[in-house]
Structure 1
Amino acid sequence: MSTTAPATTTPATTTPAPLPVDDTDAFGEEVLGDPGPFHAALRDAGPVVHLSRYDVYALGRYEQVHAALVDWQAFASGAGVGLSNFRREPPWRPPSLLLETDPPHHDAPRVVLEKVLSPRALRRLREQWAADARDLVDEVLREEEFDAVPAIAEAFPLRVFPDAVGIGTEGREHLLPYGDHLFNAFGPANSLVARGAPRRAEHGAWVDAQCAREALRPGGFGAAIWAAADRGDITPAQAPLVVRSLLSAGVDTTVQGLAALLHAVATHPAQWARLRAEPRLARVAFDEAVRWASPVQLFFRTATGDVRIGGAVVPDGEKIVMFLGAANRDPRRWERPDEFDLGRDPSGHVGFGMGLHQCVGQHVARLEAESVLQALLERVETVELAETPRRHLNNTMRAWASLPLRVRRR
């Protein structure tokens, strides 16, 4: 473990240490396609590094990333969790009540959504999602080779999650491009953002329409959020924004978490064999895949004062980018971090964030992944890559565009 002191806002009593500077384009296609070398260089350079190309401060080591995630007072989310600094420029859309606010504004929406998505509340979905997963896997396994991204990783969340929210089937094709653009927009205004801009308004208008009370079926997550507004737990103005948070962050992240899990077991046959022998490890497998692949690669915070990190000082009001993917493979925290290993305890990974803003939907993602994995374990003897998989580049997400698999059925 690193002995570097965690971040603190205590006034400096000694001369700040010089900051390492890196001019790498962290959002360039080379880094997005293969971030490992950049992450290693970032960790080796020091506890905090100045990325001169974007004039932001970067954290790549587990200790500092974890410390920043749990210290919302010094590392604020309210100025945006992307590169844009809401202190200096207006957001392109209303900020998320979950991701982009701090207490006290963050508290009431968070409490409502924690209740709506609690493990207890999800129990009623377990049996139905298991049946849906079995049906989907049976359809997919009519062929021994298939592309797991559209066939499973996209298909299952798009089948079960909007149903659980309570939105209709018409127009669900908007969800993935909407989420893709949203996660791209957390980065710089590069070609990836430009790619999604022409249809941004169209996708956004559809998503916003699904957040209205009258668009949501009774009994779903969305109706439960509006019921909370009726009780006075949140305001009627907040209710559609909380529903929108579900639709913004609840699909793409799970899609890529599932894709990461399928890629992991396809490229680690010994771990798949262990899973077949010990299916109780299904949930561990998903968390290890999230640690290993980090579908959400980074998030930003803003310094609320002069923040001391490892002897260096980040000035008040400056943006700090936390590389979750780098932290999740930090050898200071993990043994053999580049291996996908079901013998590891992956708890403590920062793939879902940490602290006050930790992913409120992580239990939903785990249940979706467990449902799919159990259905596959019941039906598949071996799984392997059929062809070389292809990445989908995104400024925030570590994503797959195509994951061709070959299976041998049991």
Structure 2
Amino acid sequence: MTEALERALVPPVSDADPFAHDVLLDPEPLHQALREAGPVVYLSRYDVRALARYEQVHAALVNWQHFESGSGVGLANFRYEETWRPPSLLLEADPPLHDAPRRVLREILAPPALRRLRESWHALAEELVDQVLDGGREFDGFTALAEAFPLRAFPDAVGLGPDGRENLLPYGNMAFNSFGPRNYLVAADADRVAGLSAWVNAQCAREALGEDGFGARIWAAADRGELTYEQAPLVVRSLLTAGVDTTVHGLAACLYALATHPAEWQRLRDRPESVRVAFDEAVRWQSPVQTFFRTATADITMAGTVVPEGTKILMFLGAANRDPARWRDPDRFDLTRDPSGHVGFGMGIHQCVGQHVARLEAEALLTALARRVEHLELAGPPQRHPNNTLRSWTSLPLRVRPA
């Protein structure tokens, strides 16, 4: 092997910690540094290969044969390490194990089912916005809107009862933290793992679910033999884990984007049909899901660099979504942009099966808000919540001028 070729096969090395507190709160500087360093970067702190450019992230996401999810989508390698809960049949499985659960959920969450929800969700959003605005011109957009609407609309659709829904976000926070290293964020959740897990598992039982919701339809699929009875509660759990936090923080990202870009807020009000573009552009711009891991199933050459078999790769979805090689003026929130192709919902066979549910929730809430609010702005500094995987919020103070 020539010296030049040997150098080409060795990626640049970084000792940066993508899970450090300051990086979780402000990841863009590290994202830029990793993109500039190369298509594949070795993160020495965790012995993983990092992908921060759009081309390589997209390639890894769609290549499940060479970059598997079955060994875990977090830093832990399920080939060698015990899991704190049964792996997700959607996020942490590959074909053929992945096929039946995804096929069932894709049918349950298909457009006809969402059309049946559209009218009730729009009415619920109108009711919520009226209630919030009746309380005054300043409020916390995170708790009053971005959190409140999905915590009512989505569990209703799944068929959950009214009690205990306050556990959903802490459980999701814990689950997404677990994809990172066993750092202070994981330690902070340690005393709640058993209780939160027990509550969520109880909600996945057939008898705990309403007769007409998504959960009941998952169990009906087991009756038809499309799933096993052991798989059914795990699929319900996957729906609850992935369907709440990501939507909540996606809506918060959208409210933040529109509050800090008054021209785009006016554009949305002038063209209400652009509401779904606004949500996808916010997901691209802020990327509620920042990172996911995959594991190489063989020695794979990527951009001239060998990723050894069994190696974890860390895909920076947020960095890919701001890659200037893929996006014009990527740091700008822009409703004239076509954001399709962003990797905020993943890509390929593991692409978020519930993304259209999230878009419908965003459509309902933002349409109601645009109808009632002429001007939207920040009323104070937003507060971020560190999470090993999510770009999360705890507070988004807003000030509005009603229309």
Q: TM-score range by the shorter chain?
A: over 0.9
What's the TM-score once normalised by structure 1's chain length? 0.96
Tell me how far 1:179 sits from its aligned partner. Answer: 0.2
Q: C-alpha separation between the residues in 1 aligned to 2:239 and 2:162?
A: 16
Counterpart pick for 1:216 among 201, 209, 220: 209
Residue number in structure 2 paired with 1:185 = 178
Residue number in structure 1 paired with 2:400 = 407
SS of structure 2 residue aligned to 1:146: strand
Q: C-alpha separation between the residues in 1 aligned to 2:31 and 2:359?
A: 26
Q: C-alpha separation between the residues in 2 aligned to 1:295 and 1:15?
A: 36
With over 3 angstroms needed to count, the CA separation of the structure-2 counterparts of 1:357 and 1:47, relative to structure 1, is same
Q: Does 1:39 align with 2:31?
A: yes
Q: C-alpha separation between the residues in 2 aligned to 1:14 and 1:119?
A: 51
Residue number in structure 2 paired with 1:161 = 154
Residue number in structure 2 paired with 1:4 = none
SS of structure 1 residue aligned to 2:269: helix
Q: Does 1:102 align with 2:94?
A: yes
List alignment gaps of at least 5 residues for structure 2: none
CA-to-aligned-CA distance 1:139-184 (integer Å, 9 cap, x gap): 1112100001110111000111110000100111110100000000
Q: C-alpha separation between the residues in 2 aligned to 1:18 and 1:226?
A: 49
Residue number in structure 2 paired with 1:267 = 260
Q: C-alpha separation between the residues in 2 aligned to 1:100 and 1:62?
A: 22
Q: What are the residue-to-residue correspondences of 1:84-123 with 2, within 5 Å? A: 84-123=76-115
Q: Does 1:71 align with 2:35?
A: no
Tell me how far 1:17 sits from its aligned partner. Answer: 2.2
Tell me how far 1:90 sits from its aligned partner. Answer: 1.4
The 8 Å contact of residues 66 and 354 in structure 1, kept in 2 or not, is answered as: yes
AA matched with 1:212? A
Moved over 3 A (4+): 13-16
CA-to-aligned-CA distance 1:121-147 (integer Å, 9 cap, x gap): 111000000000000000111210000
Tell me how far 1:16 sits from its aligned partner. Answer: 5.0
SS of structure 2 residue aligned to 1:141: helix
Aligned residues: 398
SS of structure 2 residue aligned to 1:384: strand
List alignment gaps of at least 5 residues for structure 1: 1-12
CA-to-aligned-CA distance 1:49-81 (integer Å, 9 cap, x gap): 000001110000000000000000000000000
Q: What are the residue-to-residue correspondences of 1:132-171 with 2, within 5 Å? A: 132-142=124-134, 143-171=136-164
Q: C-alpha separation between the residues in 2 aligned to 1:208 and 1:228?
A: 19
Tell me how far 1:98 sits from its aligned partner. Answer: 0.2
Residue number in structure 2 paired with 1:297 = 290
SS of structure 2 residue aligned to 1:19: coil
AA matched with 1:63? E
Residue number in structure 1 paired with 2:315 = 322
AA matched with 2:75? L
Tell me how far 1:200 sits from its aligned partner. Answer: 1.3
Residue number in structure 2 paired with 1:240 = 233
AA matched with 1:81? V
AA matched with 2:162? T
Residue number in structure 2 paired with 1:61 = 53
SS of structure 2 residue aligned to 1:259: helix
Tell me how far 1:370 sits from its aligned partner. Answer: 0.5
AA matched with 2:59? A
Residue number in structure 2 paired with 1:257 = 250
Q: C-alpha separation between the residues in 2 aligned to 1:158 and 1:14?
A: 53
AA matched with 2:148? A
AA matched with 2:307? V
Residue number in structure 2 paired with 1:26 = 18
Deviates more, 1:13-22 or 1:160-169: 13-22
The 8 Å contact of residues 126 and 367 in structure 1, kept in 2 or not, is answered as: yes
Tell me how far 1:15 sits from its aligned partner. Answer: 7.5
SS of structure 1 residue aligned to 2:341: coil
Q: C-alpha separation between the residues in 1 aligned to 2:80 and 2:8?
A: 26
Q: C-alpha separation between the residues in 2 aligned to 1:122 and 1:231?
A: 22
The 8 Å contact of residues 16 and 313 in structure 1, kept in 2 or not, is answered as: no
SS of structure 1 residue aligned to 2:9: coil
Residue number in structure 2 paired with 1:5 = none
AA matched with 1:137? V
AA matched with 1:397? L
AA matched with 1:349? H
Q: C-alpha separation between the residues in 2 aligned to 1:274 and 1:169?
A: 37
Q: C-alpha separation between the residues in 2 aligned to 1:229 and 1:223?
A: 10
Counterpart pick for 2:274 among 270, 277, 281: 281
Q: C-alpha separation between the residues in 1 aligned to 2:320 and 2:242?
A: 21
Q: C-alpha separation between the residues in 2 aligned to 1:189 and 1:119?
A: 39
Q: C-alpha separation between the residues in 2 aligned to 1:119 and 1:285?
A: 20
Residue number in structure 2 paired with 1:343 = 336
Counterpart pick for 1:310 among 303, 313, 317: 303
Q: C-alpha separation between the residues in 2 aligned to 1:108 and 1:176?
A: 27
RMSD over equivalenced CA pairs, Å: 0.9
Deviates more, 1:192-201 or 1:72-81: 192-201
Q: C-alpha separation between the residues in 2 aligned to 1:45 and 1:268?
A: 31
AA matched with 1:50? Y
Q: C-alpha separation between the residues in 2 aligned to 1:153 and 1:203?
A: 22
Q: C-alpha separation between the residues in 2 aligned to 1:258 and 1:196?
A: 25
SS of structure 2 residue aligned to 1:336: coil
Q: What are the residue-to-residue correspondences of 1:9-20 with 2, within 5 Å? A: 16-20=8-12
AA matched with 1:306? D
